[in-house]
Amino acid sequence: MAKSIGLYISFLSYVWPKKATQLAYRFFSEPREGRLHPDDLPEILKKANRETLAVNYEYFEVYHWSGTKEPLLLIHGWESNSSRWEPLLPYLQQNGNAIIALDGPAHGLSSGKEFSVPKFASFVNKVVEQYQPKTIIGHSIGGATCLYFHHRYQPKNIVKMVLLGAPSDLEILIDNYAKILGLNSKAVQLLEKYFVQKFKMNFSEFSGKTFASSIELEGFISHDKFDDVVLFEEAVKISSAWKKAVFVETNGLGHSMHDHDLYLKIQRFLLTS
């Protein structure tokens, strides 16, 4: 099916470039999983206080777990939602922090069909402005969103950032996407032209390594050596550019990164001044 779609888009790139661009971006940006229904929420989200915020007429869901210390903000990844943080929550709550999580565009209970890192970052910025967390934690594309958010908005209150299984380079994501669909070079060129028009950045400029190079706050980066979703080398790139980040390599956790020992290390990192 993927190759058939790619063949069709590649054909359209010559005879109907606008339609080819629309389809190429649509299949890249629309998640197939991660949605939630308000009448069938995971138990961990039922225990949270919920509110709905909006940015540019798009709404997104925010979840709150109370605590006596300043809030931490949790940012999930692709085809996921805020319930993915359930295994980590007890470790954060032991530290006494209030916890905030949000559903990304087209994920969880949030609106829309299209996901993009810049749009997710605008949601994150809304929450950061309203609740002033000092720490943000991101998994997978949520980690890339953390880096882009800091680059784009330069928040003054954030002092620590944790990245788990985060990708660095958009070029690699696009290359993998093009290979899966079998897109021709013209279709990829049309897609990049659209990205430049929409986000004012080309593929090579959209780089977690580049964003991390200007970050002065403390960081904690962890990635599994055998992650089969995001290459381990992506984390190495980010770590090499981030002066104040520690890098924790794991073995056998896969892309989810759920692990008692890892969460203890994150817990200690958050407690250090």
Delimit the domains of the chain by residue range.
1-30+170-206, 44-168+208-271
Q: What one-character-per-residue DSSP string does 50-79 give?
A: EEEEEETTEEEEEEEE--SEEEEEEE--TT
Q: Whole-model pTM?
A: 0.96
Token readout for 53 is 């915020």
Helix (H, G, I), strand (E, B) or coil at 213: coil
Write out pLDDT tens, residues 202-223.
999 999 999 999 999 999 999 9
Sign of CA dihedral 43, 129, 124, 239: negative
Token readout for 78 is 């692709």
Beta bridge partners of 246: 220
Q: Which has the closest alpha carbon to 127: 57, 69, 72? A: 72
Q: Which run of H or E residues covers position 138? A: strand 135-139
Residue 74 and residue 101 in contact, taking contact as beta carbons nearer than 8 Å: yes
Q: Does domain 44-168+208-271 have CATH number 1.10.10.10?
A: no
Write out pLDDT tens, residues 162-202.
999 999 999 999 999 999 999 999 999 999 999 999 999 99
Other C-beta atoms lying within 10 Å of the C-beta of residue 99: 23
Rounded Cα distance between 151 and 43, Å, is: 35
Number of residues assigned to the chain: 273
Q: Which has the closest alpha carbon to 126: 93, 100, 90? A: 100
Token readout for 149 is 């958010």
Q: Which has the closest alpha carbon to 34: 64, 77, 74, 89? A: 77
Which residues does the chain have with pLDDT short of 70? Answer: 273
Q: What is the pLDDT of residue 1?
A: 79
